[in-house]
Structure 1
Amino acid sequence: MSGVSVKVSDLFLRCLEAEGVRYVFGVPGEENADVMISLLDSDIEFIICRHEQGAAFMADLYGRMTGEPGVCLGTLGPGATNLITGVANADMDNSPVVVITGQGATTRLHKDSHQAMDVPKMFEPVTKWGATIWAPQNTTEVVRKAFKLARAEHPGATHIELPEDVAKADVDDEPIVPGMKVRRPAAEDKAVARAVELIAAAERPIVLAGHGCVRTRVTTQLNRLIDETGMYVTTTFMAKGAVSDRHPQSLFAAGLGARDHVIDAFEDADCVICVGYDFTEWHPDRWNVVGDGGTPKDIIHIDFEPAEVDSAYRPAVEVVGDLANALWQINESLTAACRDKGTEALARMRRTLEFEILEEHAMDPGFPVKPQRALHDIRAELADDDILISDVGAHKMWTARHYPTYEPGTCIISNGFCSMGIALPGAIAAKLVHPDRRVVGLMGDGGFMMNVQELDTAFQYGIAPTYVVWDDSAYGLIAWKQEAHFGRTSHTTMRHHDLVAVAQGFGCHAVRIESTDELRPALTEAFAVTDRPSVVVVPIDYSENMRLTKRLGQVVAH
Structure 2
Amino acid sequence: MQASDLLVKCLEEEGIEYIFGVPGEENADFMMSLEKSNKIQFILTRHEQGAAFMAEAYGRLTGNPAGCLGTLGPGATNLITGVANSNMDRAPMLVLTGQGSTTRLHKESHQAMDVVEMFKPVTKWAVSISHQDNIPEITRKAVRLARTEKPGAVLIELPENIAHLPSDKTPIKPIRYRRSNPDKSVVAQAAQKIVAAKRPIIVAGNGCIRKRASNSLRQLCELTGIGVISTFMGKGAVDLDSEHCLFTIGLGAKDLTACALDASDLIIMLGYDMVEYHPHLWNENTDKNIIHIDFLPAEIDEHYNPQLELIGDLANALDMLREALAEYELDFDFSQQQAVRRDMLVELAEHKDDTSEGKIKPQKCLWDLRKALNPEDIVLSDVGAHKMWIARHYHCHEPNTCLIPNGFCSMGFALPGSIGASLVYPDRNIVAVCGDAGFMMNVQEMETARRLNSNIIAIVWEDNAYGLIEWKQDTEFGRHTPLSFGNPDWMQLAEAFVWTGYFVKNSADFSGVLNEALQHSGPRLIVLPVDYDENPKLTEKLGKIVCPI
TM-score (norm 1): 0.95
CA distance, structure 2, for counterparts of residue 162 and residue 342 of structure 1: 59
4+ aligned runs moved over 3 Å, structure 1? 335-338
Q: Which residue of 1 aligns with 2:307?
A: 316
Q: Which residue of 1 aligns with 2:330?
A: 339
| Letter matched to residue 97 of structure 1 | M
- Which of 517, 535, 539 does residue 545 from structure 1 map onto? 535
Structure 1 residues 48-447: aligned runs within 5 Å:
48-179=44-175, 181-290=176-285, 296-334=287-325, 339-357=330-348, 359-367=349-357, 368-447=359-438
RMSD (Å), alpha carbons = 1.3
CA distance, structure 2, for counterparts of residue 423 and residue 112 of structure 1: 38
Q: CA deviation at 1:534?
A: 0.6
User: 1:78-124 CA deviation, whole Å, 9 max, x = no partner?
Assistant: 00000000000000110000100000111101111000000000000
Q: Is the 8 A contact 1:99 1:160 kept in 2?
A: yes
CA distance, structure 1, for counterparts of residue 365 and residue 199 of structure 2: 35
Q: CA deviation at 1:342?
A: 4.1
Q: Which residue of 1 aligns with 2:486?
A: 495
User: 1:113-150 CA deviation, whole Å, 9 max, x = no partner?
Assistant: 00000000000000001111111111111111110100
CA distance, structure 1, for counterparts of residue 525 and residue 212 of structure 2: 32
Q: Is the 8 A contact 1:257 1:552 kept in 2?
A: no
CA distance, structure 2, for counterparts of residue 36 and residue 230 of structure 1: 54
CA distance, structure 1, for counterparts of residue 319 and residue 332 of structure 2: 19
CA distance, structure 2, for counterparts of residue 65 and residue 312 of structure 1: 32
* Matched position secondary structure for 1:108: coil
Q: CA deviation at 1:10?
A: 1.0
* Matched position secondary structure for 2:158: strand
Q: Which residue of 2 aligns with 1:3?
A: none
Q: CA deviation at 1:545?
A: 0.6
Q: Is the 8 A contact 1:200 1:335 kept in 2?
A: no
Once the two structures are overlaid, the 10-residue window that deviates more, 502-511 or 204-213, is 502-511
Q: CA deviation at 1:338?
A: 5.8
Once the two structures are overlaid, the 10-residue window that deviates more, 210-219 or 535-544, is 210-219
> What is the number of equivalent residue pairs in this alignment?
543
* Matched position secondary structure for 2:300: coil
| Letter matched to residue 452 of structure 2 | Y
Structure 1 residue 471 and structure 2 residue 467: aligned?
no
Q: CA deviation at 1:336?
A: 6.2
Q: Is the 8 A contact 2:238 2:244 kept in 1?
A: no
CA distance, structure 1, for counterparts of residue 66 and residue 329 of structure 2: 42
- Which of 8, 11, 14 does residue 6 from structure 2 map onto? 11
Q: Is the 8 A contact 2:61 2:424 kept in 1?
A: yes
| Letter matched to residue 212 of structure 1 | G
Classify 1:135/1:336 alpha carbon distance in 2 versus 1 (closer, same or farther; 3 Å).
Answer: closer
Q: CA deviation at 1:335?
A: 5.2
Once the two structures are overlaid, the 10-residue window that deviates more, 336-345 or 227-236, is 336-345
CA distance, structure 2, for counterparts of residue 196 and residue 45 of structure 1: 48
| Letter matched to residue 537 of structure 2 | R
CA distance, structure 1, for counterparts of residue 285 and residue 291 of structure 2: 16
Q: Is the 8 A contact 2:517 2:524 kept in 1?
A: yes
Q: Is the 8 A contact 1:244 1:407 kept in 2?
A: yes
Once the two structures are overlaid, the 10-residue window that deviates more, 123-132 or 491-500, is 491-500
What stretches of structure 1 of length at least 5 have no aligned partner?
1-5
Q: Is the 8 A contact 1:361 1:372 kept in 2?
A: yes
Q: Which residue of 2 aligns with 1:33?
A: 28
Once the two structures are overlaid, the 10-residue window that deviates more, 503-512 or 104-113, is 503-512
* Matched position secondary structure for 1:213: helix
CA distance, structure 2, for counterparts of residue 204 and residue 288 of structure 1: 16
User: 1:243-278 CA deviation, whole Å, 9 max, x = no partner?
Assistant: 111111211111123320111222221100001111
Q: Is the 8 A contact 2:380 2:431 kept in 1?
A: yes
| Letter matched to residue 232 of structure 2 | F
CA distance, structure 2, for counterparts of residue 28 and residue 306 of structure 1: 39
CA distance, structure 2, for counterparts of residue 193 and residue 423 of structure 1: 43
Q: Is the 8 A contact 1:266 1:288 kept in 2?
A: no
| Letter matched to residue 15 of structure 1 | C
Once the two structures are overlaid, the 10-residue window that deviates more, 507-516 or 126-135, is 507-516
Classify 1:167/1:373 alpha carbon distance in 2 versus 1 (closer, same or farther; 3 Å).
Answer: same
| Letter matched to residue 488 of structure 2 | H
CA distance, structure 2, for counterparts of residue 288 and residue 159 of structure 1: 36
Classify 1:338/1:77 alpha carbon distance in 2 versus 1 (closer, same or farther; 3 Å).
Answer: farther
What stretches of structure 2 of length at least 5 have no aligned partner?
none
Q: Is the 8 A contact 1:198 1:298 kept in 2?
A: no
Q: CA deviation at 1:190?
A: 2.0
Structure 1 residue 453 and structure 2 residue 449: aligned?
no
* Matched position secondary structure for 1:290: coil
Q: CA deviation at 1:159?
A: 0.4
* Matched position secondary structure for 1:315: coil
Q: Is the 8 A contact 2:366 2:394 kept in 1?
A: yes
Q: Is the 8 A contact 2:198 2:331 kept in 1?
A: no
CA distance, structure 1, for counterparts of residue 333 and residue 204 of structure 2: 17
Q: Is the 8 A contact 1:257 1:553 kept in 2?
A: no
Q: Is the 8 A contact 1:251 1:350 kept in 2?
A: yes
CA distance, structure 2, for counterparts of residue 515 and residue 306 of structure 1: 50
CA distance, structure 1, for counterparts of residue 230 and residue 544 of structure 2: 20
CA distance, structure 1, for counterparts of residue 544 and residue 344 of structure 2: 18
User: 1:35-81 CA deviation, whole Å, 9 max, x = no partner?
Assistant: 11112211211100000000000011110010001210000000000
TM-score (norm 2): 0.97
| Letter matched to residue 265 of structure 1 | A
CA distance, structure 1, for counterparts of residue 68 and residue 443 of structure 2: 19
